[in-house]
Amino acid sequence: MHMIFRTLWHQWFVGRRGEKLGFDGVSRSRFRVWPTDLDILRHMNNGKYLSIMDVARFDLIQRNGVWELFAREGWYPVVVGQTISYRKSLNPWMRFWIESRILGFDEQAVYMEQRFVRPDTQRRPDIYARAVVRARILRRSGGVVPVDEILAKSGADPAQLVVPDDVLEWGRTTRLPSTRTDAISDWTDSRR
């Protein structure tokens, strides 16, 4: 429940004060590791990273104008896949920021990269974790918004939004079937 307060704080106060970004800009959202973020090993729980990434994505789309576009068109984003790699632990009370940017699109979805960053000893940005997120844009009235429509109405320049090949391959290999297709869970042991 406490994530709603973090989300509202960033939406109402932090995002509105941040500089406006272009569609391909990088947002930097500042956070701190709170006691409610910790697991039994006293560092930030791996699932909490994903929750905080949600807050940072809202900061990105609020500052680059996409949130206004979504409100005007009756659209909303949903995460359909994400992967994260952890490099260093975030410990109690540490300050960190999340860098978020839109990488680009495939034929169905938008890809974003998010990095958990802290300064190193020379005060350079040091990556603690990195995630790639694949999201679809849906209509509140039902259905998926085609990528061409998103690009046309957002004013994004597709030439500046190039998803790396390895990320596109990850997106292809991790997709689940369409909601209009059966996706039966069958745990038949094929090792027998």
Q: What pLDDT is recorded for position 109?
A: 95
Predicted confidence (pLDDT) at residue 191 exceeds the cutoff of 70: no
Euclidean distance between CA atoms 131 and 116, whole angstroms: 9
The predicted-structure confidence for 136-187, as pLDDT tens digits, reads as follows 999 999 999 999 999 999 988 888 899 999 999 999 999 988 888 888 888 8
Predicted confidence (pLDDT) at residue 2 exceeds the cutoff of 80: no
Residue 102 in contact with residue 24, Cβ under 8 Å?
yes
Lowest mean pLDDT among 7-21, 58-72, 150-164: 7-21
Q: Tell me the average pLDDT of the chain.
A: 90
Residue 80 in contact with residue 109, Cβ under 8 Å?
yes
Euclidean distance between CA atoms 168 and 191, whole angstroms: 31
